[in-house]
Structure 1
Amino acid sequence: MNWELEEASAMLLTCEDSLRKTHYDVLSVKEDASHDEIRASYTVAILDSHPDKFQGKFDAFEPCHELQERFLMVQMAWEILGDINSLAVYDMELKASRQDSEIADDVKFQEMTVEDCGEILELCYQCRCGDYFSVNSTELGEMGFSLEGHGRRELRTINAAPTSVVLPCGSCSLKIRLILYTDS
């Protein structure tokens, strides 16, 4: 793959537009499309955008450079989606970019409010919409963490490495990344 295609590929992943275009969008296929569906869509798209098709016939609404750009985008989309290895890497990068763009804030464990609900402790953090992001001690236990209560904020686990968990708001579409550091 040449540097122009690599640059364009990165552009598709890091574009901050609300109308983010992926390689799947370029080829007009769903993200769960089979290899045969991707190949068929590529064939149609490459024929529709090939420069030889438009030689000497430029539409006033679609200048030559836009047609060339579309052709390059279709070609690059096929290079990525047509190869099983690059497809797997692309899908992981696409998923990661979507998760990061949905995260409103990184919140440390110590910033959460702890509420004692009897046998279960609830960790809460207020969202800007007024509702809360929350996780309870039972859910933390399922992740391998033990939350010590009685007014203390102490998180214990066998693995002392920091980790994080994404929590959705109870009402809106925002999410936070809860950073979990253990005391021991």
Structure 2
Amino acid sequence: MCEAEKKDLYAVLGASPSDSVQQLRHRYQQLALQYHPDRLRGECPTEAESGLEKFLEVDAAWRILSDQNSRRQYDLQRRDEGVYSYCCRCGGGFSVSEEEVEEETQRRQHDDEEEETVEGQHRGVVVCCDTCSLSVYVTWSRHQQTPTLKCL
């Protein structure tokens, strides 16, 4: 496994597993312009070197996530590392990480402290298919360990 594959490739692009290919492309283009070696040529050598490393990291993440087959394989690998995923009818997939579920739960609990909540209220987040326009609403209750999916 190469060094880029050990990192969360979505985090490298500042993206989410639920982002579409178009959203990933947009993030890649922004970062590629920011860290491109030609743009950093006039900077001091250490900044130029770290910029080049970041550019190569972003480029490697994009090469894997831009291809449907390599992205699906990467997402399957991540699933074994704490990512919930579900296959879409188009052949693509939906995925949400345990980290995203935890962040959303904490955010909602913070909101609940400020407002009264209905007992047993479900938490949720919309997740888009990685290849088509279908979205699902992933829900979980405070005490539920595994998210459930509902098509929108």
Residues 137-176 of structure 1: CA distance to partner in whole angstroms, max 9, x if unpaired? xxxxxxxxxxxxxxxxxxxxxxxxxxxxxxxxxx9x9xxx
> Of the two, which has the highest radius of gyration?
1
Q: Which residue of 2 aligns with 1:90?
A: 74
Structure 2 Cα separation of the partners of residues 27 and 10 of structure 1: 13
Q: 1:94 is aligned with what amino acid?
A: R
Q: Are positions 1:32 and 2:18 aligned together? A: yes
Which residue is 1:42 aligned to? 28
SS at match of 1:28: coil
Alignment of 1:51 with 2:37, yes or no, is yes
Q: Distance in 2 between matches of 1:65 and 1:98?
A: 33
C-alpha spacing 1:27/1:10, structure 2 compared with 1 (3 Å): closer
Secondary structure of 1:97's counterpart equals coil
Of structures 1 and 2, the one with the larger relative CO (CA 8 A, separation 6+) is 2
Which residue is equivalent to 2:6? 11
Q: CA RMSD in A?
A: 2.3
Give 1:91's aligned amino acid: D
Partner of 1:66: 50
The answer on whether the counterparts of 2:10 and 2:17 sit within 8 Å (CA) in structure 1 is yes
Equivalent position to 1:75, from 55, 59, 62: 59
Give the Cα separation in 2 of the matches to 1:86 and 1:55: 32
| Partner in structure 2 of residue 165 of structure 1 | none
Identity %: 29
Q: Which runs of 5+ in 1 are unaligned?
A: 1-5, 13-21, 103-170, 174-184
CA contact 2:41–2:48 (8 Å) conserved in 1: no
CA distance in 2, matches of 1:45, 1:91: 22
Stretches of structure 2 that go unaligned for 5 or more consecutive residues are: 84-97, 99-142, 146-152
Q: Distance in 1 between matches of 2:9 and 2:44?
A: 25
Which amino acid counterpart does residue 8 of structure 1 have in structure 2? E
TM-score when scaled to structure 1? Answer: 0.42
Matched residues, number:
86
Structure-1 residue corresponding to 2:112: none
Deviation at 1:98, TM superposition (A): 2.7
- Quote the Cα distance in structure 1 between the aligned partners of 2:36 and 2:78: 27
Give the Cα–Cα distance (whole angstroms) in 2 for the partners of residues 24 and 9 of structure 1: 11
